[in-house]
Structure formats: C-alpha cells, structure tokens
C-alpha cells in the first residue's frame, strides 16, 4: 500500500469516527431517557460504556488527523484538521467539567472534522490525477 492509499484510509477513518461521534452525541439524550430500561436488561454499567465512547472517538480522530495532516500537501487543510480536533477535544473536556457549552464545541469540532477530511480526500484525489497526467 502506498502513501496516497494510507492517506485515503486516514481521511475515511476521520470521516467515519467524526460522523459516528456526531451520531453518538445526538443519541445521548435518547440513551439517558432509556437508561432505566437499559439498566434493568443489560446491567448498571451502561453509562460508563456510553461515556467511554467519547474517548474512543477522540483517540480515533487524533490518529486520523495526525496521519492526514502529516501527509497532506494542503497547508490550510493541515491547520483546519488540527483546529477542528482541538475544538472537539475542548468540547469533550468541557463536558467532563459539566460546562454547558461543551456539547456545542463537540458538535462543531466533529462536523468540522468530517468536512476537513472529505476536503482533504478530494484534494488527494486531485493530486493523484495531476500526478498520473504528468507521467
């Protein structure tokens, strides 16, 4: 697998992780509404599992941003990826501190990461086309 294919995978990992995170955040109110039913059927550890998913998404998105930003030739996208991840991380940490704006930062960071990874993927596809035309 060459470097360009690895970049595609990191961008798709970033899109998937950020998109799943946004869905996770959107479903959280439903999860808490259903918590009594879930605890009676699954057990009392449902909240810990649900909260741990935040850190799984944070870690996956960090790996995707690190790899994509490290290998992209688009300087602005490199910065956008890191800023979007930082906004997402601040939002997650703000949720831990029970600050009311945390969820909005998580949504903004997550959506920004999806968009940035898609743009980077498109940029990399364009670079592949230009490279193959020069050959």
Secondary element (H or E) of residue 10: helix 3-33
* Ramachandran category for residue 43: left, alpha or beta (phi over 0 → left; psi -120 to 50 → alpha): left
Give residue for tokens 């998913």. Answer: 53
DSSP letter assigned to residue 104: H
Render pLDDT for 77-119 as a digit per residue (tens, 0 to 9). 899 999 999 999 999 888 778 888 888 898 898 888 888 888 8
Higher pLDDT: 107 or 28? It is 107
Q: How far is CA 34 from CA 40, 65, 72, 84, in A?
A: 10, 34, 43, 31
**Distance between CA 133 and CA 98 in Å, rounded?**
53
26-31 long-range Cβ contacts below 8 angstroms, 24+ apart: none
Predicted confidence at residue 76, as pLDDT, reads: 92
Mean pLDDT along residues 18-42: 63
Higher pLDDT: 7 or 9? It is 9
Render pLDDT for 33-88 as a digit per residue (tens, 0 to 9). 666 665 655 555 555 666 777 788 888 888 888 888 888 888 898 999 999 999 99
When mean pLDDT is compared across 1-5, 20-24, 82-86, the lowest value belongs to 1-5
DSSP letter assigned to residue 132: H
Residue 1 has pLDDT above 50, yes or no: no
Reported pTM: 0.68
- List the Cα angle 52/55/60 in 5-degree steps: 130
Q: In the chain, where are the structural domains located?
A: 3-134
Q: Which two tokens stand for residue 45?
A: 């550890």
């Amino acid at each position: 697998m060459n470097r360009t294919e690895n970049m595609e995978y990191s961008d798709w990992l970033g899109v998937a992780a950020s998109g799943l995170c946004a869905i996770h955040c959107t479903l959280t109110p439903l999860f808490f509404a259903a918590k009594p039913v879930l605890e009676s059927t699954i057990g009392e550890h449902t909240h810990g599992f649900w909260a741990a998913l935040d850190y799984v998404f944070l870690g996956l998105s960090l790996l995707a941003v690190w790899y994509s930003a490290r290998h992209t030739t688009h300087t602005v996208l490199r910065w956008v990826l890191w800023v979007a991840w930082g906004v997402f991380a601040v939002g997650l940490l703000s949720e831990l501190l029970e600050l009311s704006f945390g969820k909005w930062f998580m949504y903004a960071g997550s959506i920004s990461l999806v968009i940035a990874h898609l743009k980077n993927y498109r940029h990399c596809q364009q670079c592949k086309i230009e490279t193959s035309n020069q050959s």
